[in-house]
């Protein structure tokens, strides 16, 4: 079982309050633990330690006149402004922002309607509540006051829905007919003219639902198959054919084009299903705000912060917008100071890793205008996914620091504390597609880094059926290996480009569009606040089938425990975790701290690179059941149709190996434990082959003790390695191995681990290697991956896990990733992989 613990801050991490008034803001901190898998328990913390910081005050006064937590738990503030803070509980902490205003002018629901789950105990959906505050105070004019308690919520029909703590809504009766939906009312005390209502729909996610079969290969033994399920998000009832067409085209491309091999060769080991559920609204909820002006960029609707460079020929070292925001924060509304004034200010503020030369004129002007008055309304989709993340949503970590006593640059505690509280502005990429915490309660959802097996989405999946057989459990993660773990694909009908593999590689979610900005509109309804802001969804949206197929193929790579090999635009230097001694969990990535030859240099020991000794395979067969003892020999079982080949190998005196299939519950396959004969038995004689039954009898000194003979279970591999000069050949060519062992440096032709390279890498010249083999797909060790230019290493210069949209070889899986997928799905195809896909052919 996962051992999980973190902090949860209520109402959320981007709070708003008034200087005075009858309603007080009382933040609450809870420790969240996991007494049972996926079922989280929240325990209130008494007297948590809040430390505030006023980033917009003059240097020297940023620790003066700060808000305080009173004895009753309420916050008292004496000055309008923006305050960053850290909350510390034991070894865990969380950061946030508080904005203090003088007056609230209006409020509204940030939803047109909301869908919640039928649940006997837990309230799932939380309506967003936005407020307009007095303008020109150096703080946001519109703020997110969800869960603050300023607005009192009540149910119009307590027999259908009830309002619980934090303003979450629990469903009691499923909404079978949309016309039977109920509503909740919101009232702002003392302002009866501002009462509002919101329609609520209730879904029973846990009831049995049928799946449609898209590709049928073997439904009699689904536990031994790779089963893919496609689910829709943001498709109307009338869009069902559009969704089905998308799935049909994507499945056809994945299993019938060379670009996505080895999926095509392995397609007999896949079943593909889909299940349709219509959404009330199309498109996803944007967690981020978007720009509502065209200053410098020439476009509106850019996510805040924008994950990219501002076009215009800036020098290569210029920050991306999100890099600048991470370092200096967001602009103060209405602040018109020039670039030099801000550079002088930022240089005096003890900011972390800030270089003035990396701020171009265009970037500065775009940053100063990088704002929005309104907040986009949430979308009411069936499963409740979102793009990016709200400022309100943060998760705790162990990076807390001790605060300085005063804002004194000579205090060694100041700079680490500034870095810590400014980490509030470091958010996820806007292309991330994750479950929305306002649709999934903290008792069931602990962020995309947890498995979360009891969300409403997983309840839906768990109860899927084919005919009369319940099959949904094949996709639900457990503390054991499941072949279909992670093969859930959520296709979101949204013109914005997004895609992520979430919840510890158990769900792949992607959108159908490629837009980099969000179309929006402010309301023109005179009865609504002019800051009410909605997505403007085109009447017809073109689905980029090729992009969706590319993304699905890449995201399924994560489900097979392959990590991202790309370097994120704007990332610099090493991964912050590069020095850790524990290796990266992904089978195609290695960490410097694990493989380095000594702790003071960047040289690495190739023996510690987990893919370095993967064998090339000349003949291969998958075991169809567990091995057994046959006297002093071991008997393994392959398909009878393959037995003739192995009988001929016996006659030729060829010696074979056994590789046990024993991935972890999360699908980790590497490193191979070649020194352990219970997992890797080498140099075995083939003494008998029964062509009728497929039984192959093996003997040799490389066998494990007889008690371990049954260890090689279904899915294990019987193989003959490629040999050269009577020695087994590694997946890494001998000339490359000689160079790696001799120099202990990566193969990148361009030696750069400080600035992200978003393109392919070419290997440098290698003594003895013919020029025709010096290609981007050459297997070895290359630096750059896991989103950083330094500190992480990958097997090849190009791969689908680096850029799934690239043309030709660059958009295919590298040979290591192909090897790992084949070994996971059907290792009997290793010989085919060697013959048709090994870069450059025979040794």
Instruction: Report cis status (omega within 30 of 0) of the bond before 560.
Output: no
Residues 172 and 269 in one domain: no
Under a CB-based contact definition with an 8 Å cutoff, are residues 696 and 619 in contact?
A: no
DSSP calls for 280-320: SSSSPEESSEE----TTTS-S--EES-SSPPSS---TTPPP
Per-residue pLDDT band for 690 (boundaries 50, 70, 90) equals very high
What lies within 8 Å, CB to CB, of 433 at 6+ separation is: 284, 385, 386, 387, 490, 492, 498, 499, 500, 502, 509, 510, 511
- pLDDT for 843: 54
Q: Are strands 303-304 and 289-290 parallel, antiparallel or unpaired?
A: antiparallel
The sign of the dihedral angle between the CA atoms of 143, 147, 149, 154 is positive
Does residue 624 lie in a domain region?
yes
Residue 131, strand partner residues:
107, 143
Which two tokens mark 550?
């590319």
Q: 140-163 in b/e burial notation, b at 16+ Cβ within 10 A? A: bbbbbbbbbebbebebeeeebbbb
DSSP 513-559: --BSS--EEE---TTS-TT-EEE---SS----HHHHHHHHHHHHHHH
Centroid of chain to Cα 362: 31
Pairing mode, strands 129-133 and 590-591: unpaired
Instruction: Determine the pLDDT at residue 309.
Output: 83
Q: Based on the domain organization, do 526 and 597 belong to the same domain?
A: no
CA 606 – CA 347 distance, rounded (Å): 43
Residue 585 forms part of a structural domain: no
- pLDDT at position 293 is 87
pLDDT for the residue 312? 72
Tokens representing 787 are 């989103």
Given a contact cutoff of 8 angstroms between Cβ atoms, the answer to whether 483 and 225 are in contact is yes
pLDDT band at 3 (very low <50, low <70, confident <90, very high): low
Sheet of strand 209-210, all strands in order from the earlier edge strand to the far edge: 209-210, 464-466, 469-470
Residue 242 maps to a domain: yes
Residue 603: its pLDDT value, please?
97
Q: Are residues 531 and 676 in the same domain?
A: no
pLDDT tier for residue 842 given thresholds of 50, 70 and 90? low
Which pLDDT tens digit goes with each residue over 447-506? 999 999 999 999 999 999 998 889 999 999 999 999 999 999 999 999 999 999 999 999
| Cα separation values, 406 from 177, 350, 403, Å | 61, 13, 9
Instruction: Please check whether residues 38 and 123 belong to one and the same domain.
Output: yes
Identify the DSSP state of 353: T
657 phi and psi, to 5 degrees? -125, 160
Task: Give the span between the Cα atoms of 319 and 572, in whole angstroms.
Answer: 10
User: In whole angstroms, how far apart are CA 61 and each of 8, 18, 96, 298, 694?
Assistant: 30, 22, 20, 38, 80
Asked if residue 301 and residue 345 are part of one domain, the reply reads yes
- Distance from C-alpha of 433 to C-alpha of 491, rounded to nearest angstrom: 10
Shared domain check, 124 and 26:
yes
Q: Residues 214, 215, 221, CA angle at the centre, nearest 5°?
A: 120
DSSP H/E element including 816:
helix 815-825
Considering the domain architecture, whether residues 598 and 472 belong to the same structural domain is answered as: no
- The sign of the torsion formed by the CA atoms of 355, 357, 360, 364 equals positive
**Chain centroid, CA 234 distance in Å:** 20
Residues 459 and 545 in one domain: yes
Domain final residue pick, 560, 580, 599: 560
Judge if 630 and 595 occupy the same domain: no
For residue 676, being part of any structural domain is answered with yes
Angle between helix 545-559 and helix 240-256 axes, rounded to 10 deg? 70
Tokens of 209: 């639902």
For 557, residues 6+ apart whose C-beta sits below 8 A from its C-beta are: 800, 801, 813, 817, 821
Is residue 110 domain-shared with residue 231, that is, in the same domain? no
Q: How confident is the model at residue 574 (pLDDT cuts 50, 70, 90)?
A: very high
Short-list 561, 581, 611, 566, CA closest to 815: 611
Supply the DSSP symbol for 407: S
User: Which of 553, 546, 543 lies closest to 487, judged by CA?
Assistant: 553
Measured CA to CA, the distance from residue 571 to residue 574 in angstroms comes to 9
**Beta pairing, strands 590-591 & 788-794:** antiparallel
Identify whether 568 is part of a domain. Answer: no
* 27 Cβ contact partners less than 8 Å away, ≥ 6 residues apart: 9, 10, 11, 15, 50, 69, 73, 75
Same domain, 53 and 141: yes
Q: What's the pLDDT at 23?
A: 85
446 and 32 Cβ atoms separated by less than 8 Å: yes
540/510 Cα distance (integer angstroms): 19
Is residue 427 one of the residues assigned to a domain?
no
Write out pLDDT tens, residues 250-276: 999 999 999 999 999 999 999 999 999
Question: What are the angstrom distances between the C-alpha of 829 and each of 267, 278, 329?
Answer: 11, 39, 52
CATH code of the domain containing 650: 2.40.10
The mean pLDDT of the chain is 95
What is the rounded average pLDDT of the residues 136-151?
A: 97
3-class DSSP state of 52: strand
Has residue 712 got a pLDDT over 70? yes
Distance (Å, rounded) from C-alpha 532 to C-alpha 523?
A: 6
pLDDT tens profile 66-112: 999 999 999 999 999 999 999 999 999 999 999 999 999 999 999 99
Does the residue 445 lie in any domain?
Answer: no
Q: What is the pLDDT of residue 1?
A: 40
What's the pLDDT tens digit per position in 237-248? 999 999 999 999
Count up the domains in the chain and report the number: 5
Residues 6+ apart with CB under 8 A from 678: 660, 704, 708, 711
**Whole-number pLDDT of residue 469:** 86
pLDDT tens digits, one per residue of 370-396: 999 999 999 999 999 999 999 999 999
Residue 520 lies in a domain: yes
Q: Which pair of structure tokens corresponds to residue 685?
A: 């004689």
Query: Sheet of 507-511: strands edge to edge?
Result: 212-215, 270-274, 226-233, 488-492, 507-511, 499-502
Helix then strand then coil, in percent of the chain rounded to 5, is 20, 30, 50
Q: What is the pLDDT of residues 584-620, one digit of tens each?
A: 999 999 999 999 999 888 999 999 999 999 999 999 9
Beta strands at 285-286 and 289-290: parallel, antiparallel or unpaired = unpaired
User: Which percentage of the chain shows pLDDT scores above 70?
Assistant: 99
User: What pLDDT band is residue 539 in, cutting at 50, 70 and 90?
Assistant: confident
471 within 8 A of 223, measured Cβ to Cβ: no
What's this model's pTM, rounded to 2 decimal places?
0.95
Using only C-alpha atoms, what is the Rg of the chain?
Answer: 29
Helix/strand/coil for 170: strand
Tens-digit pLDDT profile for residues 337-346: 999 999 999 9
pLDDT at residue 37 is higher than 90: no
> What's 428's DSSP letter?
-
Identify the pLDDT of residue 841.
Answer: 63
Instruction: List pLDDT tens digits, range 613-648.
Output: 999 999 999 999 999 999 899 999 999 999 999 999
User: Which domain, by its residues, includes 767?
Assistant: 590-612+730-837
One domain, residues 270 and 323: no
pLDDT exceeds 50 at position 2: no
């Amino acid at each position: 079982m996962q051992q999980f613990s973190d902090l949860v801050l209520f109402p959320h991490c981007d709070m708003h309050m008034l200087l005075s008034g009858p309603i007080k803001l009382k933040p609450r901190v809870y420790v969240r633990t996991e007494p049972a898998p996926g079922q989280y328990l929240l325990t209130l913390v008494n007297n948590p330690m809040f430390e505030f910081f006023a980033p917009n005050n003059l240097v020297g006064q940023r620790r003066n006149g700060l808000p305080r937590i009173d004895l009753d738990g309420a916050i008292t503030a004496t000055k309008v402004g923006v305050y960053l803070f850290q909350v510390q509980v034991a070894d865990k902490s969380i950061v946030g922002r508080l904005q203090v205003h003088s007056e609230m002018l209006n409020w509204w629901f940030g939803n047109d309607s909301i869908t919640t789950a039928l649940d006997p105990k837990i309230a799932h959906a939380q309506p967003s509540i936005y407020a307009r505050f007095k303008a020109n105070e150096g703080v946001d004019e519109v703020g997110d006051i969800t869960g603050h308690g300023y607005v009192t919520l009540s149910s119009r029909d307590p027999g259908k829905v009830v309002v619980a703590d934090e303003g979450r809504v629990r469903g009691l009766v499923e909404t079978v007919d949309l016309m039977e939906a109920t509503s909740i009312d919101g009232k702002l005390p003392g302002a009866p003219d501002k009462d509002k209502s919101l329609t609520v729909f209730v879904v029973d996610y846990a009831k049995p639902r049928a799946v449609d079969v898209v590709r049928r290969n073997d439904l009699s033994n689904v536990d031994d198959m790779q089963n893919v399920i496609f689910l829709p998000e943001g498709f109307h009832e009338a869009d069902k054919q559009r969704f089905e067409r998308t799935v049909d085209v994507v499945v056809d491309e994945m299993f019938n084009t060379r670009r996505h091999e080895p999926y095509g060769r392995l397609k007999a080991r896949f079943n593909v299903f889909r299940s349709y559920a219509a959404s009330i609204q199309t498109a996803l909820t944007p967690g981020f705000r978007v720009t509502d002006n065209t200053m410098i960029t020439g476009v509106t609707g850019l996510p805040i912060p924008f994950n990219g460079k501002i076009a215009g020929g800036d020098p290569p070292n210029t920050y991306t917008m999100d890099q600048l925001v991470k370092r200096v924060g967001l602009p103060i509304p209405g602040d018109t100071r020039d670039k030099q004034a801000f550079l002088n200010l930022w240089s005096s503020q003890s900011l972390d890793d800030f270089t003035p030369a990396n701020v171009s004129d265009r970037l500065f002007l775009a940053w100063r205008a990088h704002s929005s008055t309104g907040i986009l309304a949430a979308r009411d989709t069936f499963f409740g996914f979102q793009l990016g993340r709200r400022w309100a949503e943060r998760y705790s970590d162990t990076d807390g620091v001790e605060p300085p006593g005063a804002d004194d640059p000579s205090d060694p505690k100041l700079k680490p504390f500034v870095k810590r509280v400014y980490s509030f502005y470091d958010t996820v990429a806007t292309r991330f597609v994750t479950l929305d915490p306002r649709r999934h309660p903290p008792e069931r959802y602990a962020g995309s880094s947890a498995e979360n097996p009891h969300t409403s989405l997983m309840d839906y999946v768990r109860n899927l059926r084919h005919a009369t057989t319940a099959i949904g459990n094949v996709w639900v993660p457990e503390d054991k290996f499941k072949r279909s773990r992670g093969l859930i694909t959520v296709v979101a009908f949204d013109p914005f480009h997004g895609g992520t593999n979430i919840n510890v590689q158990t769900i792949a979610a992607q959108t159908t569009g490629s837009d980099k900005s969000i179309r929006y509109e402010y309301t023109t309804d005179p009865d609504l606040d002019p800051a009410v802001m909605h997505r403007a969804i085109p009447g017809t949206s073109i689905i980029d089938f090729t992009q969706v197929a590319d993304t699905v193929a890449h995201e399924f790579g994560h489900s097979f425990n392959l990590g991202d090999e790309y370097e994120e635009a704007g990332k610099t230097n090493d991964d912050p975790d590069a020095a850790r001694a524990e290796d990266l969990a992904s089978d195609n990535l290695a960490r410097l701290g694990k493989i380095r030859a000594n702790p003071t240099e960047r040289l690495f020991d190739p023996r510690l690179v987990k893919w370095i000794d993967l064998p090339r395979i000349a003949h291969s067969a998958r075991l169809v059941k567990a091995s057994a003892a046959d006297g002093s020999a071991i008997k393994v079982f392959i398909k009878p149709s393959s037995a003739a080949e192995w009988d001929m190998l016996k006659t030729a005196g060829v010696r074979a190996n056994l590789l046990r299939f024993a991935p972890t519950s999360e699908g980790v396959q590497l490193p191979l434990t070649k020194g352990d004969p219970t997992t890797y038995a080498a140099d075995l004689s083939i003494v008998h082959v029964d062509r009728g039954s497929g039984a192959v009898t093996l003997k040799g000194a490389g066998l494990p003790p007889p008690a371990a003979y049954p260890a090689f279970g279904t899915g294990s591999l019987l193989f003959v390695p490629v040999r050269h000069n009577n020695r087994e050949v590694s997946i890494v060519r001998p000339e490359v191995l000689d160079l790696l062992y001799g120099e202990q440096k990566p193969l990148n032709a361009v030696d750069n681990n400080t600035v992200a390279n978003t393109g392919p890498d070419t290997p440098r010249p290698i003594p003895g290697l013919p020029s025709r083999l010096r290609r981007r797909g050459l297997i070895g060790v290359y630096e750059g991956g896991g989103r950083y230019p330094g500190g992480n290493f990958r097997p090849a210069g190009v791969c689908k896990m680096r850029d799934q949209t690239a043309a030709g070889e660059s958009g295919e899986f590298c040979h290591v990733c192909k090897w790992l997928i084949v070994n996971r799905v059907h290792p009997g195809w290793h010989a085919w992989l060697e013959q048709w896909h090994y870069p450059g052919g025979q040794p």
